[in-house]
């Protein structure tokens, strides 16, 4: 009841018209009350279907994080899919370069942090690591206060590939040895890619020792599947013009 009364009418109205079940409504009411979501953030999370996406990403947290409570917190801190509707890219798809996506996120870092959720702090992009006199760069580096750990995010333009975990494993080892403070928990890595095949991700995670997860991203400039064959494609539009 306290959570219900602590948010405004506009929040309640938006939740009622955009949700289907009582459990889903309670979920968003609790989030608004405890995490102080404003109306815009509520709209964004409803659009991204946070209720269905949170805690669903493929991961190895249960086998790599010994503390069961911390493992659950880690799972609930990340989503299976992130809606990057604040990034304006003319031709989204597999052709998009990772650096273009990274620049779009950095230019809109506040919106990206809002997409990630509470307790994330941005450390930097292309974070530099020196290992045996060689330079390595992590696409995006964050710190999560609730998890008390560094979070490395690697951006991939296409479908998930098993070899991505090997590179992330290397980054996490270096972060834990060279950057992590003594009181902090082990670093977590997230591969953010355009798409993934569940079975490939499942096999890739077997016998891994560093806590990692795989999420996907979508852009609102992409057409829904049901409309792709109705409207002319990019080449056809050029000919018409």
Q: Nearest to residue 151, comparing CAs of 174, 128, 131, 123?
A: 123
**What residue numbers bound the domain in which 6 lies?**
1-47
**Together in a domain, 90 and 209:** yes
- Tens digits of residue pLDDT in 33-69: 877 778 887 887 788 777 776 667 899 999 999 999 9
Residues 132 and 210 in one domain: yes
- 61 and 154 co-located in one domain: yes
For position 216, which CATH number holds? 3.40.1350.10
What is the pLDDT, as a whole number, of residue 111?
84
Contact assessment for residue 41 and residue 11, using Cβ atoms and an 8 Å cutoff: no
Pair (215, 136) in one structural domain:
yes
Q: What is the DSSP letter of 194?
A: S
Same domain, residue pair 42 and 81: no
CA distance 49 to 27: 11
Q: How many domains does the chain have?
A: 2
Domain shared by 190 and 162, yes or no: yes
- Final residue of a domain: which of 30, 47, 64? 47
**Confidence band, pLDDT 50/70/90 cuts, at residue 129:** very high
- Sheet with 188-193: strands ordered across: 81-83, 212-218, 188-193, 149-155, 134-144, 120-131
Same domain? For 198 and 96 the reply is yes
Please report the pLDDT score of residue 234 as a whole number: 44
pLDDT in the model for residue 174: 97
Highest mean pLDDT among 102-111, 117-126, 171-180: 171-180
Tell me the C-alpha distance between 50 and 84, whole Å: 13
Q: Is residue 128 domain-shared with residue 229, that is, in the same domain?
A: yes
| Predicted pLDDT of residue 45 | 78
> 68 and 171: one domain?
yes
Q: Which of 16-25, 60-69, 105-114 has the highest mean pLDDT?
A: 60-69
Q: Kindly state the percentage of the chain with pLDDT values over 70.
A: 85
Task: Answer yes or no: are the C-beta atoms of 179 and 149 closer than 8 Å.
Answer: no
Same domain, 99 and 202: yes
Place of tokens 């080892």: 173
What are the backbone dihedrals phi and psi of residue 150, each rounded to the nearest 5 degrees, phi first?
-75, 145
**Does residue 34 contact residue 3 with C-beta atoms inside 8 Å?**
yes
- Do 24 and 59 lie in one domain? The reply is no
Q: Taking residues 11-31, what's their average pLDDT?
A: 84
- Using the predicted structure, report yes or no on whether residue 211 has a pLDDT greater than 90: yes
Which is it for the CA torsion 167, 170, 174, 180, positive or negative? positive
- What per-residue confidence (pLDDT) applies to 96? 62
Same domain, 33 and 80: no
Confidence check: pLDDT of 188 > 80: yes
As a whole number, mean pLDDT of residues 20-37 equals 81
Reported confidence tier of residue 220, pLDDT bands at 50, 70, 90: low
Phi and psi at 212, nearest 5°, equal -145, 160
Task: Give me the mean pLDDT over the 99-120 stretch.
Answer: 86
The H or E element containing residue 126 is: strand 120-131
């Amino acid at each position: 009841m306290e959570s219900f009364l602590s948010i405004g009418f506009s929040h309640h109205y938006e939740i009622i018209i955009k949700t289907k079940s009582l459990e889903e409504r309670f979920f968003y009411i609790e989030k608004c009350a405890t995490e102080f979501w404003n109306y815009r953030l509520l709209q964004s999370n409803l659009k991204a279907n946070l209720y269905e996406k949170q805690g669903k990403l493929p991961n190895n947290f249960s086998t790599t994080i010994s503390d069961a409570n911390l493992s659950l917190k880690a799972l609930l801190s990340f989503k299976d899919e992130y809606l990057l509707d604040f990034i304006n890219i003319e031709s989204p798809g597999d052709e998009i370069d990772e650096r273009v996506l990274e620049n779009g996120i950095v230019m809109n870092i506040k919106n990206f942090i809002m997409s990630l959720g509470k307790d994330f702090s941005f450390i930097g992009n292309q974070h530099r690591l020196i290992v045996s006199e060689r330079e390595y760069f992590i696409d995006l580096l964050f710190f999560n206060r609730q998890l008390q750990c560094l979070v490395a995010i690697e951006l991939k333009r296409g479908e998930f590939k098993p070899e991505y975990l090997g590179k992330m494993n290397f980054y996490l080892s270096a972060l834990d040895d060279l950057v992590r403070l003594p009181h902090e928990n082990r670093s977590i890595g997230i591969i953010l890619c355009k798409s993934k095949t569940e079975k490939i991700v499942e096999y890739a995670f077997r016998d891994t020792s560093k806590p990692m997860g795989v999420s996907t991203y979508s852009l609102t400039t992409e057409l829904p599947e049901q409309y792709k064959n109705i409207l002319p494609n990019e080449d056809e539009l050029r000919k018409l013009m």
